[in-house]
Amino acid sequence: MKRTRYDGYRSFQYLTPEVDYRPFRLAKEIGRVPSTRVPVSPEEEARVERLLEEALVIDLHEHCFVVPEDVGEIFEYRRWGRDWTGYEGLSVSGLDVVFDNMMDGTATVTSRAGWKWDDVIHDIGMRLCDIAHQDFLVPALTVDDLFRAKRNGQIAFVVSLEAATMIENELDRLDILYGLGVRCIGIAYSEANALGAGLREARDGGLTQFGRAAVRRMNQLGFAIDISHSGDRTSLDTIEVSEKPVFITHAGARALWNSNRLKPDEVIRACAEKGGVIGIEAAPHTTLSERHPRHSLESVMEHFEYCANLVGIDHVAFGPDTMFGDHVGLHHAFAQHLSIASSRGERTFDEVPYVDGIENPGEAFPNIVRWLVKHGYSDEDIKKVVGGNVLRVLKEVWYR
């Protein structure tokens, strides 16, 4: 695996536990569960390692925090507002760039409902404070920062938010978030907000007038816009109103599995026609299919191939949406809070304890590249889907 400058740093090691903060027993970042490595020959593995070295490897959607070993402690952990970052796990990930989506709606420092302005700002500041005390992850604000991190054996950390709910009706809050380092932002999560409808809503009226103004401001500022959790009409409106391509950072094809969490062909095509990219999701029980109702890397890659065939290899990437710890347990804990059941619809599926082969941010991309190598994809196409396609969009939408 590619060498990095990780030196063993652990989050908040500059503070004193039990004095400055309450410590929690956290999940293992490496080897927490047995997970299948895609079998390849020694020659193929050498090619995998070469590709990870040569490509600018970009994870379009992730949550790189570490959760408590006992997921039942997650609400108290969140109340302290101090997320541990999985530096050790990231050190073996093969990544050069990670779009980290912070606590998002689970930032419940002061509110049980989440998505509050004060809590989101607290979360961003706390994470960046920790990151400032080490030199393995580096905040990225520009395209040049991404390449600089790769040259230096570091990982570029792109602060992202899955929804703009916390701006309420204050358009200038987008400027503040940009000024604090956020570079990718969604329109709505599951529930509707002042901008538009989320995927949970039975009736999607599309972007509001305020939402249209917000999209224009996002373009002016240089945000990458994410429509992963937006309703279908709101997604189509955002694509139309935006002067720049948009991302579906983490989703899959509804044609393979009828769930609101996945995107219909109409939205995927519209995104691609505007120059955008869809990142394929791997969070538990999302990218399932009739052929693969038990979630694993194989079902994830079925969604990848479907989207690549639908809109072309130039418009597909990966946004696994994983974390370090019991992701299924976290979903159960936050089931009502995150509207998980309603976003999945009425489909029944085989629940898995974790997604085999793509369980956490440390193992996702090495296994994705192994799968692509094993299935005969060219070097050129692999480099596109593990980072090149995302980079093309960022060069167009980011301010500089």
Tokens of 358: 């793509």
Contact predicate 388/55, CB 8 Å: yes
Per-residue pLDDT tens digits for 186-195: 999 989 999 9
pLDDT band at 343 (very low <50, low <70, confident <90, very high): very low
How many residues are listed for the chain in this entry?
400
Tokens of 318: 């990966």
Contact predicate 350/294, CB 8 Å: yes
Mean pLDDT value across the chain: 95
Place of tokens 């030199």: 135
Question: What is the crossing angle of helices 265-273 and 297-311, to 10°?
Answer: 60
What's the rounded Cα separation, in Å, for the pair 354 and 57? 24
Q: Is the pLDDT of residue 341 over 60?
A: no
pLDDT confidence of residue 337: 53
Per-residue pLDDT tens digits for 209-235: 999 999 999 999 999 999 999 999 999
pLDDT confidence of residue 346: 54
Per-residue pLDDT tens digits for 232-282: 999 999 999 999 999 999 999 999 999 999 999 999 999 999 999 999 999
**How close are the terminal C-alpha atoms of the chain, in Å?**
31
Q: How large is the average pLDDT for residues 314-339?
A: 87
DSSP state of 202: S
pTM for this prediction: 0.96
Tell me the domains of the chain and their CATH numbers.
47-397 (3.20.20.140)
Per-residue pLDDT tens digits for 149-207: 999 999 999 999 999 999 999 999 999 999 999 999 999 998 999 999 999 999 999 99
Per-residue pLDDT tens digits for 44-95: 999 999 999 999 999 999 999 999 999 999 999 999 999 999 999 999 999 9
Contact predicate 69/11, CB 8 Å: no
Which among 243, 244, 218 is positioned nearest to 163, based on CA atoms?
Answer: 218
Q: List, in order, residues 6 or more apart from 41 with CB less than 8 Å away.
A: none
